[in-house]
Structure 1
């Protein structure tokens, strides 16, 4: 009986110690730490200057992870990690900008 309790305790400890990935808030194929969105130096979108280093839709740091889509809104260029985030931003742009105003 003691062996079973010890094995269960070890399994529980090991199961709880797993590093949990920070999941992307939208239905994307990547996590925020995933190599799939690393900053590719060959991507011309990563060379542009954006109004913010933040993808306002998912709060991903585009200066770190790179840009896959852009939109110009009220004369400013914004970068996004994906088309999903861009579409979400466009639907609620004023709300996202107000929430992230410096």
Structure 2
């Protein structure tokens, strides 16, 4: 009985220690910690200067993972990891900006 209990406890502990990838909050083909999402050195959007290094919609670090879409809002340029995130931001931009300026 003690051996069975020990096996159950070890199994539970080992399954809890698995590193989970942080999934992207939108339906994207990548995750936020995937090595394949690092910036493409040939992407001209990655060479621009943005008002923030964070995609306000999903909180992805665009300075690390790159930009695939942009928008200018109130005279500032914002970068996004995807058009899905840009569209989400544009639904309520002032709310996103207020939330991220804390």
Q: TM-score, normalised by structure 2?
A: 0.90
Aligned residue for 1:82? 82
Unaligned runs of 5+ in 1: none
Instruction: Determine the C-alpha separation between the residues in 2 that align with 1:28 and 1:98.
Output: 25
On the 8 A contact 1:37/1:81 being kept in 2, the answer is no
SS of 1:54's equivalent in the other structure is coil
Structure 2 unaligned blocks of 5 or more: none
Contact 1:51 1:77 in 2 (8 A): yes
Give the whole-Å Cα distance in 1 for the aligned partners of 2:37 and 2:44. Answer: 14
Task: Tell me, yes or no, if structure 1 residue 33 matches structure 2 residue 33.
Answer: yes
State how many pairs are aligned.
102
Query: TM-score scaled by structure 1?
Result: 0.90
- What is the CA–CA distance in structure 1 between the aligned matches of 2:6 and 2:93, rounded to whole Å? 54
* CA distance in 2 between partners of 1:70 and 1:52 (Å): 12
CA RMSD of aligned residues (A): 1.4
Q: In 1, Cα distance between the equivalents of 2:101 and 2:19?
A: 32
Q: Which runs of 4+ in 1 moved over 2 A?
A: none
Structure 2 Cα separation of the partners of residues 20 and 60 of structure 1: 16
